[in-house]
Amino acid sequence: MNLARRPRARQALQALTVAGLLAGTAAAGIGPGAGPLSPAWRVARALGIVPPLVRAATQPDLSCGAPGYCAVVGSTGTRAGNEAPFVATEVRGTWGDARPVPGIGRLDHGRGAVAAAVSCPAAGDCVLVGSYAGTGGTILPFIAAQTHGLWHAARELPRLSALAGASSAELTSVSCPKPGDCLVGGEFTHASKTQALTAREVGGRWRRPIELPGTRALNTGGAAQVLSVSCAAPGDCAAGGTYADSPNTLQAFVDSDVRGRWRQAIKVPGLPATGSPLTLMTSVSCGLPGDCAGGGIYSATDGQHAFAVSEANGTWRPAVSIGTVVPHPPGIELAPVIFAVSCTRGGCTAGGTYPDPNGNGTLQAFIIGSDAKGTWGRPRTVPGTVALNAGGNATVLSVSCASAGNCALGGSYVSASPRGVQAFVATEVNGVWRKAAEVPGTAKLNTGPNAAVSSVACPAIGRCAAAGTYTTRANITWVFVTRQR
């Protein structure tokens, strides 16, 4: 897939992920009152692989329908040199090999395809989404479903022709609150402009895709995209993303789905009028219908800021600003950003990265939480990361909460030279965050070295799983998985 064909929003998000943000170094600090090390995680293992796939993976996405029943998806290469989506499934605690998504070859005919996200509402029931290269340079969305443990052949998102005039489309996010009821988000191209797309599965049948209501009026610059969706229940969801209000500036939007009907998308409340190519709503999560949260990055006259925003009783409150930009010698700016949000009935937890306020040119991994009323507390550095990190940049890339006060997160940091970029996990137990730790076993795998946890899922308290990537000495990137004991 050609990234140059994708909207500036996606390119900006790509630049903020571990592939760009952490290409150099990583760091963090330890919060007051840090507890003991995070509860034990098993030794990470590399996924097996089925030909014609080869080890050259992108950051994977993970979802678990129940403890020991998970799926991980991502994209890798083939022996023919094309991109291909893969899926691997865990059954009763045992991981199978990474395999090509069933049926994808009949769609893309070897031209290239990617898997973007997966959601598993129950053991053996999942939906993955992605995009493939159609004829004439088009990009088209696909879905693939697992039911009762069996993966069915990928197919183009049904009824795509309902988007009159759409020349290309792709999917970026999926959320399934129960089997047969899902929501997907992404974008489509119409008259050389990209518009925000959503589609809903109801009772096992996909309804026609629609342009997210209200986004066209916002998107006068022609670059809108849904970057994240989340559903607390069927028909009660939220979507967040970005739009362009001029050819050169992006703004963050949010929209709510109430009992199966979308409201009009709005600019994230409380953000300034100014925008930039880095203004994005990167993640949303819903704990209850009408009670959701999101986060991302925005620009103001004094630089970039991370933001967190809450919906309480169906109303989106003004965003809370987190951190400001700090100059990095020799004058490069480091941007704070929230990458991940996870909500339960009792509140939300968000994580990301922000510049060290001491101005020493390092990035710190941070967490911030809100209560059940949507009020955000103060951000704090992930406990224990300062002891791990000597290189200067650390970030939280994924957060998942089984219940209020019982969460896990993962990301990456840079250790002392020559070890390089490493993967870490941290766990919250009964409201107390334990010290972060390097993922067991990744030091042996990660001889490249460039490792990160890109996705965490907690289907039950103390039963979390994580997936990420590592790099070999031959500069080949592949996927690892691990879970709590």
DSSP 228-296: EEEEEETTEEEEEEEEEEETTEEEEEEEEEETTEE---EEPTT--S--BTT-EEEEEEEEETTEEEEEE
> What pLDDT sits at residue 358?
67
Domain with 375, as residue range(s), is 8-483
414 lies in some domain: yes
Q: How far apart are CA 309 and CA 375, in angstroms?
A: 9
243 lies in some domain: yes
Band of pLDDT at residue 482, cut at 50, 70 and 90? very high
pLDDT beyond 60 at 2: no
pLDDT beyond 60 at 19: no
pLDDT beyond 70 at 422: yes
Per mean pLDDT, which range of 9-13, 29-33, 209-213, 268-272 is the poorest? Answer: 29-33
CATH of the domain at 190: 2.130.10
pLDDT beyond 80 at 195: yes
Q: Of 8-12, 20-24, 102-106, which has the strongest mean pLDDT?
A: 102-106
Band of pLDDT at residue 357, cut at 50, 70 and 90? low
> SS3 of 135, please?
helix
Residue with the larger pLDDT of the pair 6 and 300: 300
Label residue 430 exposed, middle or buried (CB < 10 Å: 0-12, 13-18, 19+): exposed
Burial 49-62 (b: 16+ CB within 10 A, else e): beeebbbbbbbbbb
Q: Do residues 169 and 209 touch, judged by C-beta distance below 8 A?
A: yes
Q: How far apart are CA 47 and CA 120, in angstroms?
A: 19
Label residue 161 exposed, middle or buried (CB < 10 Å: 0-12, 13-18, 19+): exposed
Band of pLDDT at residue 30, cut at 50, 70 and 90? very low
Across 230-247, average pLDDT: 96
Band of pLDDT at residue 3, cut at 50, 70 and 90? very low
Beta bridge partners of 480: 46, 468
Residues 158-172: tens digit of each pLDDT:
999 888 888 999 999
Residues 320-334: tens digit of each pLDDT:
998 654 444 444 456
Handedness of CA 46, 50, 54, 57 (dihedral sign): negative
128 lies in some domain: yes
Residue with the larger pLDDT of the pair 360 and 145: 145
Label residue 325 exposed, middle or buried (CB < 10 Å: 0-12, 13-18, 19+): middle
Total number of domains in the chain: 1
Across 463-471, average pLDDT: 98
pLDDT beyond 80 at 344: yes
425 lies in some domain: yes
> What pLDDT sits at residue 35?
59
Residue with the larger pLDDT of the pair 107 and 32: 107
3 lies in some domain: no
305 lies in some domain: yes
Residues sharing a CB contact under 8 Å with residue 81, sequence separation 6 or more, in sequence order: none
Q: pTM surpassing 0.85?
A: yes
1 lies in some domain: no
> What pLDDT sits at residue 15?
59
Q: Do residues 356 and 27 touch, judged by C-beta distance below 8 A?
A: yes
Radius of gyration of the chain (CA): 20
Band of pLDDT at residue 10, cut at 50, 70 and 90? low
> What pLDDT sits at residue 393?
85
Band of pLDDT at residue 127, cut at 50, 70 and 90? very high
Per mean pLDDT, which range of 208-212, 254-258, 413-417, 435-439 is the poorest? Answer: 413-417
pLDDT beyond 80 at 11: no
| Mean pLDDT, all residues of the chain | 89
2 lies in some domain: no
Per mean pLDDT, which range of 116-125, 380-389, 435-444 is the poorest? Answer: 380-389
Q: How far apart are CA 201 and CA 141, in angstroms?
A: 15
